[in-house]
Amino acid sequence: MCFSGGGNEEGLRPMSRRLNRRLVCWYGGIAMSITRSLEGVVNFMRGNDKLIKEVMETGEGALTELQKLANRLEVSRTDTEDLIKTLGQAKFAIDKDQDIRATQEKILQEIGENGKKIMLFSDEPELVGLFHSHRAKLYLAMANTYDTTVQKVISFSEAEVEELKRLLERAMLDTASKKRKAALLDGAIAMTKIALKVGLKLAAA
């Protein structure tokens, strides 16, 4: 069951059609804010990219800002943890057309390579700016692929799930770590890596 995001339970109402906004869904009693679809996973990844960018641009001594970013990372971590808990159980909306899914997989692979370049050249602002511009174009190309979908439970091996859980642990920060830019950046990057791995799995299904 999916509900529109309200301020409290009384304000929640069932969703009878697709809406272009964040949804809160329930599966087995778990609140889920990443829509169970390839589109939902990619949208989460794109939003998490903004967190990574802001962490990168924040000074090491800006403790107030780092705390705010740490709070956002915790929300991202919780959403990702909920996603992992339902892998292999919840149905995901994926495109019916295999050729479209192949295109989506190729775009996601390019997004992954783009992310590596951003981190590799993180101390060269002009290059990073170009990489971010290209990444935005890749997300736009991805958005243009979404078409008729089918609901399907996607199988994840135990090894794949364990790998995602290990990445998740990188965002489980203690009080001291939440004040360290490097720890925040590593945790945020791990969340994008999880979303990318899940997205690639859905596209290849």
pLDDT tens-digit map of 88-142: 999 999 999 999 999 999 999 999 999 999 999 999 999 999 999 999 999 999 9
Structural domain harbouring 11: 1-33
In angstroms, rounded to a whole number, what is the distance separating the alpha carbons of residues 148 and 94? 8
Q: Could you tell me the pTM of the whole model?
A: 0.83
- Taking only the tens place, the pLDDT of each residue in 71-90 is 999 999 999 999 999 999 99
- Based on the domain organization, do 17 and 61 belong to the same domain? no
Clarify whether residues 41 and 24 are in a common domain.
no
Same domain, 25 and 44: no
Q: Are residues 82 and 120 in the same domain?
A: yes
Question: Do 78 and 133 sit in the same domain of this protein?
Answer: yes
Contact 46, 139 (CB under 8 A): yes
